[in-house]
Structure 1
Amino acid sequence: MMKPIKQIRLDDMGHIALGGAFLGTGGGGDPYIGKLMAEQAIRATGPVRVIDVDDLADDALVVPVAMMGAPTVMLEKLPRGDEAISALRALEAVLGRKADAIFTIEAGGLNSTIPIAVAATAGLPIVDGDGMGRAFPELQMVSMTMAGVAACPMTMADEKGNAITLNTVDNLSTEKFARSITVEMGGAGLIALYPMTGAEAKKATLRGSMSLIHNIGKIVEEEQAANRNCADRLARELDGIRLFEGRVMDVDRRTTGGFARGTALIEGLEGFAGRTMRLHFQNEFLVAETDDGTALATTPDLICLLDLETGVPITTETMGYGFRVIVFGLPCDPAWRSDHGLQLVGPRYFGYEHDYVPIEDL
């Protein structure tokens, strides 16, 4: 089902934006902005080549680029457009060499499309892989941390032209310092970090992410064209689970500490009538609970919100009262189910009173 993508053309960006919104698990920012940026860059420079990580030379320089901040901020604070390439150039200056390939730090939301814009502008290929297999809210929550790759040196750029370089003692410290700077930048900034050699990238990469994003977007679009909700086909082809159907009755959402945090209460419809579900999120959906507090899915497994009629993914910053939704669950990459992975992204790290149980067992 997951046909590899070899190059990203203009007409691929719609699929990638849809697939990125799905794997963003409610977070990662709305990919539409990054889609427009990528389309503009592809029109100017041509398609972006997608390469397998094993095709990189061991001494190649691979650089992830991303947006950092609260997705809610991006509704009002649009990027100027050159911040991400500015962050890349600043990191290249620190390292004293040019990047050989661009990397996607997370397979979701805005951060699945911005790296394509950077790759097109810089004339570089993009790796078919990422560091999360989904979206997570904090910088250290990546496969690179599990592989022992340092986040720093890291560069940050904002729409005013400011550029900052960080060097910290560990990846958690990078997150803490960078988060404070992001707040001072107005809640969002563009970053380049985790510079890797090709040899390091081969050990640290969760593979096939760009192909997965593209294929999921195609499924959503094909099912829409056939007037079907994509949830059933996604469940078949991705081993996903339809957890709940209902209407959003309340959203408690606040932007604090550089994150969009909150909960959403969903009242059941059809076969779920008479029941309620509560979704907890920190940028991304992290825990889905029944009305008695029983967990139906928890991080690091994916919890996605889909429109009940169209199947279009819904982000945490756009969901609102009255939305009719499907709560959809998906197993995470097996790497996150390791002890190290659960220390980084398990429910207890975020303060939830749940031990992780794989979604297929729940």
Structure 2
Amino acid sequence: MEKIKTITRADMADVALGGAFLGTGGGGDPYIGKLMAEQAIGENGPVPVIGIDALDDDALIVPVAMMGAPTVMLEKLPRGDEAISALRSLEAVLGREADAIFCIEAGGLNSTIPIAVAAAAGLPIVDGDGMGRAFPELQMVSMTMFDVHACPMAMADDKGNALVLNTVDNLSTEKFARVITVEMGGAGLIALYPMTGAQAKRAILRDSLSLIACIGRIITAEQSANRNPADRLAADLGGMRLFEGRVTDVDRRTEGGFARGQAVIEGLEAYQGRSLTLKFQNEFLLAEEDGTPAAITPDLICLLDLETGQPITTEQMAYGYRVIVFGLPSDPKWRTDHGLELVGPKYFGYDIRYQPIEEINAKKLTERR
């Protein structure tokens, strides 16, 4: 995988595509963040990308992100300066300016907004993130596993409000911030998890932006060649097609600051006569084929348009879409006991045992033979 060194306006289309794929249906619509980043880069120049190991140990590293239900962002566009406002509020509390920005997750809007902030603030962005995908709650980051505190955390909305939280632990940060996000109209921009370069070297997942850009380039190249990118993505990323079919039912609601629900997909072609259900909380968390798990959080469940290979988010998914359900193993950190405690199926209320996606599907292939 080629490491990305700078992000230009020309790179943003691929970054948005790759972020939408790794967002596992969540992370917000990358198109909005893409436009914001393109404008900021056009006004301020390309954004330097810095590797985690190149950070000074005493540098201040801050992630910025959107918090809330992705469905809200379809109608409630950001004003444009909320993320910078959150960053400045956090810097005021800390008494120093940030030295670099990074993405809290590798997904959708939250893989593009930090680039816009980095460009506007004249800062580099770190080639890493806190999830390697997208998860719905603030404490669900690799930083939690390494005792990095989410607070102080700054929040800003489209009306000009800004505030700073201090809580006793990262789960409490999620609970208080989620209530405030609802009061902000369902979405807000945040800056949190301030950490030193030394902490970042231990806690952040590496090379996320390079991976996002690489995935975007693969999707773009395969689309240009009139091929669905699923096969190339499977070969290059170690992923797999889980199912192909048509969306026949979507039950989606915005509840408690999340987009929650499920979708039913009826099989086509080789999958004729079979049915798969996707369950989501902002992100796709569980895929069940005829009642049997096909993929389980924290492994990645991604949705691609069957004809174009375009990634589909949970808020875009609709009746009649012909789709490929694609699976990808999660970062090994999420498969540890601590990782599964944070983002495993039990946390989300699914009474099933986590099984790695490659083991589930190897067993399915054996059974079908």
Taking structure 2 as the reference length, the TM-score comes to 0.97
Deviations 1:75-125 (A, max 9, x none): 100000000000000000000000000010000010000000000000000
Partner of 1:285 in structure 2? Answer: 284
Q: How far has the Cα of 1:204 moved from its partner?
A: 0.5
Matches of 2:198 and 2:211 in 1, distance apart? 23
Partner of 2:39 in structure 1? Answer: 40
Matches of 1:317 and 1:253 in 2, distance apart? 8
Gaps of 5+ in 2: 361-369
Partner of 1:141 in structure 2? Answer: 140
Partner of 1:271 in structure 2? Answer: 270
Partner of 1:25 in structure 2? Answer: 24
Structure 1 vs Structure 2: percent identity of aligned residues? 78
- Corresponding letter in the other structure for 1:304: C
Matches of 1:305 and 1:169 in 2, distance apart? 37
Number of residue equivalences: 360
- Corresponding letter in the other structure for 1:339: D
Q: How far has the Cα of 1:9 moved from its partner?
A: 0.6
Q: How far has the Cα of 1:290 moved from its partner?
A: 1.0
Matches of 1:3 and 1:261 in 2, distance apart? 36
Partner of 1:330 in structure 2? Answer: 328
Partner of 2:68 in structure 1? Answer: 69
Q: How does 1:81-230 map to 2 (within 5 A)?
A: 81-230=80-229
Partner of 1:250 in structure 2? Answer: 249
Matches of 1:205 and 1:155 in 2, distance apart? 20
Q: How far has the Cα of 1:180 moved from its partner?
A: 0.2
Name the SS of the counterpart of 1:360 in structure 2.
helix
Q: How far has the Cα of 1:353 moved from its partner?
A: 1.5
Matches of 1:298 and 1:73 in 2, distance apart? 26
Q: How far has the Cα of 1:354 moved from its partner?
A: 1.3
- Corresponding letter in the other structure for 2:322: R
Gaps of 5+ in 1: none
Name the SS of the counterpart of 2:254 in structure 1.
strand
- Corresponding letter in the other structure for 1:220: I
Name the SS of the counterpart of 2:357 in structure 1.
coil
**Does 2:240 correspond to 1:241?**
yes
- RMSD of aligned C-alpha atoms? 0.3
Matches of 2:273 and 2:351 in 1, distance apart? 25
Matches of 2:118 and 2:316 in 1, distance apart? 28
Matches of 2:265 and 2:207 in 1, distance apart? 33
Partner of 2:350 in structure 1? Answer: 352
Partner of 1:339 in structure 2? Answer: 337
Taking structure 1 as the reference length, the TM-score comes to 0.99
Matches of 1:37 and 1:225 in 2, distance apart? 25
Partner of 1:312 in structure 2? Answer: 310
Matches of 1:122 and 1:144 in 2, distance apart? 24
Partner of 2:297 in structure 1? Answer: 299
Matches of 1:287 and 1:238 in 2, distance apart? 20
Matches of 1:203 and 1:156 in 2, distance apart? 26
Q: How far has the Cα of 1:19 moved from its partner?
A: 0.2
Deviations 1:251-304 (A, max 9, x none): 00000000000000000000000000000000000000011x110001000000
Q: How far has the Cα of 1:175 moved from its partner?
A: 0.1
Name the SS of the counterpart of 2:358 in structure 1.
coil
Name the SS of the counterpart of 1:305 in structure 2.
strand
Matches of 2:353 and 2:63 in 1, distance apart? 31
Deviations 1:23-69 (A, max 9, x none): 00000000000000000000001000000011111000000000000
Q: How far has the Cα of 1:151 moved from its partner?
A: 0.1
